[in-house]
């Protein structure tokens, strides 16, 4: 599991110059996390990414980010420290965990711009932000843009239970 927090992911990970930093992006640190995640994916280890971890799963799959959802024109809605609804897609495992929609708590300004290979967007906010992704070629590799640990509606307990079940199934 890779969680949120800290500085933005360095835009150099997806071939851009840093334009709108929050914190001090650290390319060497981010490359370390990227290599760890790529190794976990290569071994088909069950994985859950939260916020920054969600964004890194997209980058590890060849995707790119909006450096700032408002300044880059994705949405006029600031996603910093706010609750909002998400809608899940019928094709993703999150629909079974969360239902058709959920109230979640976000705290980010970056988001997925270009979806990486073998990824399916499985939840989005009404303003078009990709809020969840799943790798279609792995047993369990899920990323959520929100912070499910902050509220019951975000499904943190159900996501954690699904991660543990996937790990147990792999070990068996």
Residue at 53 is within a domain: yes
Closest to 100 measured CA to CA, from 86, 84, 113, 115: 86
Residue at 81 is within a domain: yes
Task: Give the model's pLDDT for residue 140.
Answer: 97
Q: What CATH number is attached to the domain comprising 87?
A: 3.40.50.880
Q: 128 is in which domain, residue-wise?
A: 11-171
Residue at 66 is within a domain: yes
- Cα torsion 167, 168, 169, 172 to 10°: value is 120
Instruction: Provide the phi-psi class of 34: left if phi over 0, else alpha when psi is between -120 and 50, else beta.
Output: alpha
Q: How far apart are CA 112 and CA 103, in angstroms?
A: 20
Residue at 25 is within a domain: yes
Could you tell me what percent of the chain has a pLDDT over 70?
98
φ, ψ at 73 (rounded to 5°): 85, 10
Q: Name the pLDDT band for 32 (thresholds 50, 70, 90).
A: very high
Task: Give the model's pLDDT for residue 149.
Answer: 82
* Averaged pLDDT of the chain: 93
Residue at 141 is within a domain: yes
Query: How large is the average pLDDT for residues 114-139?
Result: 97
Residue at 60 is within a domain: yes
Residue at 1 is within a domain: no
What is the count of structural domains for the chain? 1
Query: Edge-to-edge strand order for the sheet containing 119-124?
Result: 47-50, 141-144, 130-135, 119-124, 82-88, 101-106
Task: Give the model's pLDDT for residue 154.
Answer: 63
pLDDT at residue 157 tops 90:
no
Query: How large is the average pLDDT for residues 109-128?
Result: 96
Which are the contacts of 82, defined by CB distance < 8 A and separation ≥ 6? 105, 106, 107
Residue at 2 is within a domain: no
Which are the contacts of 171, defined by CB distance < 8 A and separation ≥ 6? none
């Amino acid at each position: 599991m890779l969680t949120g927090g800290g500085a933005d992911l360095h835009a150099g990970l997806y071939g851009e110059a840093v334009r709108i930093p929050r914190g001090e992006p650290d390319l060497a640190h981010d490359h370390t996390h990227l290599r760890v995640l790529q190794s976990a994916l290569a071994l088909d280890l069950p994985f859950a990414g939260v916020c920054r971890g969600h964004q890194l799963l997209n980058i590890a799959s060849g995707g790119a980010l909006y450096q700032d959802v408002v300044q880059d024109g994705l949405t006029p809605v600031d996603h910093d420290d706010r609750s909002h609804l998400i809608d899940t897609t019928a094709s993703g495992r999150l629909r079974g965990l969360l239902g058709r929609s959920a109230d979640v708590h976000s705290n980010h300004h970056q988001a997925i711009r270009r979806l990486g290979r073998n990824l399916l967007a499985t939840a989005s906010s009404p303003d078009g932000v990709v809020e969840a992704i799943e790798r279609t070629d792995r047993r369990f590799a899920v990323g959520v843009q929100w912070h499910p640990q902050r509220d019951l509606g975000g499904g943190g307990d159900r996501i954690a239970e699904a991660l543990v079940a996937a790990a147990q199934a792999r070990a068996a």
